[in-house]
Amino acid sequence: MGRKPRLTVLGKQGAGKGTQAARLAAHYDIAHISTGDMFRAQAAQGTAFGLEAKRFMDAGELVPDEIVIGVIEECTVPGGPLGGGFVLDGFPRTLNQARELDRVLAGAPLDLAIDLEVPTEIVLDRIAGRRVCENCQRVYHVNLPPTHDWTCDTCGGPVRQRADDTEEAVMRRLELYETETRPILDYYRAHDLLVTVDGVGEGDDVFERLVKVVDEHAAA
């Protein structure tokens, strides 16, 4: 394979972006950049920035664009994760963020925007059962827990329900997905960058579908 792929994975909350982006990152040896994970890590450390982001996250609101874009811009420093191959997870989430991403990527643009498509009734079920490692963010489900007593199989961290996976916050996030994030699909379609991948089914099957489209479109 030649140049490393430069990807973003779009999709509703619970579509499997985080799980699949981590697998894509390992498969292609590229950086996994999750804005949600970055904010949660900062919040866990109790930094002023993290605590501010947490207020928005726990309410199911979007973190304001200028904060998110600032975080992404930091990833473009020389040697930073946006310099080589990468998979963005949870960014962009507004049309403004998509435009800003094009600006910060200037000379080395995205190869592909992948819409991981899952019907709302299925994501609601997934999120209700979702449990996440507070340390490394690995995602589990009540039906597919870690081997030992809710400690993470990867790092031994505590596996818990996310503070923003309450029914109220989830409904708000899905509403914001429709109004703020869905318009991005048209933006990428117009730039001939959009592919849709069916996100329903076994994780391994979804991953195979993803690798197929990336190999076809982005990893020439």
Contacts with ligand ADP by CB under 6 A lie at 13, 35-36, 39, 56-57, 60-63, 68, 90-93, 97, 164, 173
Q: Between 36 and 81, whose beta carbon lies closer to ligand ADP? A: 36
93 is catalytic: yes
Tell me if residue 126 is catalytic.
no
Q: Please identify the residue of the shown chain whose CB is closest to the bound ligand ADP.
A: 36
Distance CA 209, CA 214 (A): 9
Task: Say whether 103 is catalytic.
Answer: no
Question: Of 93, 126, 131, 138, which is the active-site residue?
Answer: 93
Give the separation between CA 64 and CA 55, rounded to whole angstroms.
11
Residue 179 structure tokens: 């109004």
The single residue listed with the structure tokens 């790092």 is 155
DSSP 88: E
55 catalytic? Reply is: no
Q: Given the complex with ligand ADP, which of 199 and 219 has the nearer CB atom?
A: 199
- Kindly state the smallest distance separating residue 220's Cβ from ligand ADP, in Å: 28
In angstroms, the CA 143 to CA 146 distance is 10
3-state secondary structure of 97: helix
173 is an active site residue: yes
The residues annotated with a catalytic role in the active site are 17, 93, 130, 162, 173
